[in-house]
Structure 1
């Protein structure tokens, strides 16, 4: 019997086994290991780790529910493939969508719409199984295509909103952005639609298995390197005492302090930052406080400084501070980066004047950047040219 099996099929079954073992191992790793192997300094979201582990478990089990088809023929084979497709529709698609939503940490989105959008697929697949026919598959493929396009359109908007939220609240974006993973998962969603209506060739089967293994590796890396933004670290510096400028004429502070915000992990959305809600007096006072407590003390050089921490340092809250930056037509991220870039320029010119040998990487680290790539992008955005080109001009 086994002598009649071609080498291509044997290799496919071996690849099938590798994919199953990889998915199962990744699932157990996320469930049992507490610390991160890829980025030990990063604490990843527990909720995302658990949903990703569930996704890996489904991938591993999903390799098994198609195996009976290898020994079935004709009508039984069709039913087996339809059952496998039904199980894929009620597991893989919802979990991919949930993973995308869990990566967006600006707010916790409801998950019930995922079940609603999956229901038509379940109805069509069940109808096919009951009738033991593939007549409904064109409708399944069409719905999957529409579902993929709709999901991608929604996620493009949500990821852009998430990016604005990051720049409004965080100075350092390392281990926080997710657009790369969105692109990968968008491709996977479209590939899944093709998978359901695939031609069944051996080359196609190879491609699907290789893509699955690549997806597991990428998702494992993404979960390990994505910071949990619900964990807020208190600012461990002494907040300077006010000298009277913080007080209004009637002796009461016009700025609510950092403790006036609810003590939770929720963050204000973009809609909160309407600059016309900030009075002129408060606007000018926040500018004075930023200069005194952030710029003069060089607090902007602190790694991982958040909007909430800066608000605490100057004696206000993050909503007022967000309103201030909105009125300035900038973001918190741009404000901190501008100060850091100007600090870099100052350090470089001081080093040149003193004839000290320094590298841009060394000065970038002293200017508050953990990653040189992040500094390089911020520098080009602020100065309009690359670091190398700017240094060449300075040396003339």
Structure 2
């Protein structure tokens, strides 16, 4: 009979199995995670110490360079724009010799003022005639036009006097002389700031006059055309029976044929263009003043601090590498600057001949065709 110690184990009892030799030891995995945790903790501490909250490798460089002042180009562009926008408003239009009105815009407005006076006389004669009367809004429309014409004549005169300075280029000549005598970049900056300050003031005056002209022409356009239409419709049947009616209708037709195109269309178009140019010039002048204000305070030296990433390529380290540059630019006066400014002034001298060219002396009654009452007497 077998002994208890020699009996086999029951089938339900499992025998322990040792771990395979190729599996990593538990203590090595724990060490790897501990190292990563230490690295993360170290990065977190550095970020906490960094006031910007972001780690970066910064390389620092200092650069000294020389550049030429950007002077004559902005002046040239400004005077070119003034020439294109302002000159047509202060020089004579090119008409056929048969056109019985003056050539200069200011003279056209003055002549139309006289024609408006003749139409007012016609309305007064109408009121005292035996013909059916007219609504008083016709008188109001014409009176509004005459008030604006009076204001318009003053604004046009102010505009012409102020705009002449830009077209003639006198200030460009003075600037060239002063820069030729400048002893240092600081002196150049001072003279340029004075030039642009004066230009800003003059530009503002011309712009204000142009906007007043624009406003008056807009009011006249709104009132004149309805006035002409209604008077023509009411009086045409009576033109052959009353001399004053023939005269008034003659004024209506003369205004339509010769004044309407220029008072209601050509001159307003030119004024709108001038206002746009002057407004753009104001922005450009402000930018120049800002630059030269800095140049005056730094004696012609511009300091810049530039910080940028060293690469634009999408790499994991792109935002960690930063380059910081301290750039100091020393400005000097270019050799061609004074010469080019004299050329701007020479161009203005040629344009001066167009502006100062005397218009033949005229009296509106001498160039306007005779009215019916003058032909019938």
TM-score scaled by length of structure 1: 0.25
TM-score scaled by length of structure 2: 0.26
Q: Rg: which structure is higher?
A: 2
| Higher RCO structure, 1 or 2 (CA under 8 Å, sep 6+) | 2
